[in-house]
Structure 1
Amino acid sequence: MGGGVLLALGGHEASLLAMLHSSSRSAKWRINSNRLDVYKVAGKVFLIVTDDPDEQIITVKCDPEHARALEHRFASIAPGRYLDKRHWISLGPGPGITERLTIDAVEDSYDLVAERLPRRDRPGAR
């Protein structure tokens, strides 16, 4: 994912999701002609990855204020596709979109979703 190019987590998808131990990948969704890989924690979506090599984006949950700041800072970050545009952002390839930024966005999304789950459903709950 170097060189400012996001490749739908560019092969880091499996290692990232291994860190997020309670996530699961659901069956592919289809919206219009787009195929999407959807990742969930305790049944709640935290990551959507396009399955189209011509349009490589990820969509993650984000704090609204932080989302607006990212959208102003990076041309290839926009309000989230397919979901509530206030709480979701989509990241595509472009200047400044690094592996670290992408991983941070996915981890933050996971945390936002997990912390809103009932205590009994949170990862690591007994």
Structure 2
Amino acid sequence: MDRQQAREYLLSKPFTVETFPFGKDVSVFKVKHKMFATLSVGKMGKGENESDDICWMNLKCDPQEAIMLRDIFPSIIPGYHMSKVHWNTVKLDGSVPQGEIQRMMDNSYMLVVSKMPQADQQSIKLHL
């Protein structure tokens, strides 16, 4: 999955908007003003050998599942600049299957929605 595919998939979620509060290089995806993903290009502090054109995505995750995913996929690490318990960073280098990345994006979205007031949850679920 490349940056554009990830961006399009995230934006396909109901009530999702893309914002840039951290500058033009970091997309922040929100549902009803609550962040559920970030997407950026570059090293993200990983050293000089990393390619500048690799995308990195932060996704909210159940704490137990977050650990499991980090154990399975070397390109999934604790959330960069995020809570290491509730967020994972996914390096979009082709090593994680697209279906798994989409599942993680879906889960991140639904975790955020599940914490919203009932009225907001219901309005979102009507569009799923």
Query: Out of 9, 17, 29, which is 1:39 matched to?
Result: 29
Q: CA deviation at 1:17?
A: 2.2
Runs of 4+ in 1 over 6 A off after TM superposition: none
Specify the alignment match of 2:78 in structure 1: 79
Structure number with higher helix proportion: 2
- Distance across 1 between alignment mates of 2:85 and 2:35: 15
Supply the AA of the counterpart residue of 1:43: H
Mark the runs of 5 or more structure 1 residues left unpaired by the alignment: 2-6
Matches within 5 A, 1:2-13: 7-8=2-3, 10-13=4-7
Identical aligned pairs, as a percentage? 25
Q: 1:39 to 1:123 in 2, by over 3 A?
A: farther
Specify the alignment match of 2:91 in structure 1: 92
Q: 1:14 to 1:63 in 2, by over 3 A?
A: same
Please tell me whether the aligned partners of residues 28 and 35 of structure 1 are also in contact (alpha carbons under 8 angstroms): no
Q: 1:111 to 1:11 in 2, by over 3 A?
A: same
Please tell me whether the aligned partners of residues 25 and 39 of structure 1 are also in contact (alpha carbons under 8 angstroms): yes
Specify the alignment match of 2:102 in structure 1: 103
Supply the AA of the counterpart residue of 1:124: S
Please tell me whether the aligned partners of residues 54 and 93 of structure 2 are also in contact (alpha carbons under 8 angstroms): no
**What count of residue pairs does the alignment treat as equivalent?**
116
Specify the alignment match of 1:4 in structure 2: none
- Distance across 2 between alignment mates of 1:103 and 1:11: 10
Specify the alignment match of 1:112 in structure 2: 111
Q: 1:12 to 1:27 in 2, by over 3 A?
A: closer
Q: 1:123 to 1:83 in 2, by over 3 A?
A: farther
Q: Which has the higher contact order (CA 8 A, sep 6+)?
A: 1
- Distance across 2 between alignment mates of 1:123 and 1:22: 12
Please give the TM-score of this superposition, normalised by the length of structure 1: 0.80
The reply on whether 1:29 has 2:22 as its aligned counterpart is: yes
Q: 1:12 to 1:65 in 2, by over 3 A?
A: closer
Over the residues paired in the alignment, what is the CA RMSD in angstroms?
Answer: 2.2
Please give the TM-score of this superposition, normalised by the length of structure 2: 0.79
Mark the runs of 5 or more structure 2 residues left unpaired by the alignment: 43-51
SS at match of 2:104: helix
